[in-house]
Amino acid sequence: MAASILTALGKSFDLSPCIVPYDSQSGASTGKRISLIDCEGIGILIQKAVGVGADVIVPLLYEHTASVSGTSTLLASITKSWYKSETTLDGDETWTALAQTASSTLTYATVTQQSYLYFEVRAEQLTDGYTHISVDIADTGAAGTQPIAVTYIKFGLKSQRIPSNLPNCLNPGAANA
């Protein structure tokens, strides 16, 4: 395939929904699963609107042995994350690093600003026999509306293709639906 046909989407990364936009104060949200079979890792990007009170975002990272059912367990691999935060995100923010002891949770306590929160999971961090991850968001409380969305960013793709020929992110060996 000629390099000029490839775009960054398909050559360097692929995207998949984890949690579509929702109001996190309405309850916990279960993230969709994504496979790490065909990539080096997954970036997890959480975008949140302004919240109120003590409505803190707590992502929970899981690993799974299958795309559905199978065995699921918390994956304590989050050691580093980054965030951008401002009253109104407008592109002039810089990333700030956060470090922590390896954990399956990450507490991001900046409530009263719009924010991006990002962390990565590498395929090599999965326990033997585990092939998928998911990220849930715990209930942020009922102090007020707090819209949140979570996107998976696959990187280090083993098969680089034009976007329309990328495999689906849940089961890379299956035909696209």
pLDDT score at 139: 84
pLDDT score at 174: 66
- Per the CB < 8 A criterion, the answer to whether 134 and 69 are in contact is no
pLDDT score at 98: 93
Look up residue 155 and give its amino acid: F
- How many angstroms separate the CA atoms of 36 and 8, rounded? 19
Structure tokens at 127: 């326990």
DSSP state of 77: -
Strand 132-137 and strand 34-35: the pairing is antiparallel
- Per the CB < 8 A criterion, the answer to whether 14 and 8 are in contact is no
- Per the CB < 8 A criterion, the answer to whether 5 and 143 are in contact is no
CATH number, span 12-159: 2.60.120
Whole-model pTM? 0.91
pLDDT score at 177: 44
3-class secondary-structure state, position 8: helix
Render pLDDT for 82-126 as a digit per residue (tens, 0 to 9): 999 999 999 999 999 999 999 999 877 777 889 999 999 999 999
Structure tokens at 167: 């495999």
Structure tokens at 74: 């918390």
Question: Is 109 exposed, middle or buried, given 0-12, 13-18 or 19+ CB atoms closer than 10 A?
Answer: exposed
User: Domains of the chain: which residue ranges?
Assistant: 12-159
- How many angstroms separate the CA atoms of 12 and 3, rounded? 12
Q: Where are the alpha helices (DSSP H) in 32-98?
A: none
Per-residue pLDDT of the chain (177 residues; tens, 9 = 90+): 445 567 899 999 999 999 999 888 888 899 999 999 999 999 999 999 888 777 788 899 999 999 999 999 999 999 999 999 999 999 999 999 999 999 999 877 777 889 999 999 999 999 999 999 999 998 887 767 788 999 999 999 998 889 988 988 888 876 544
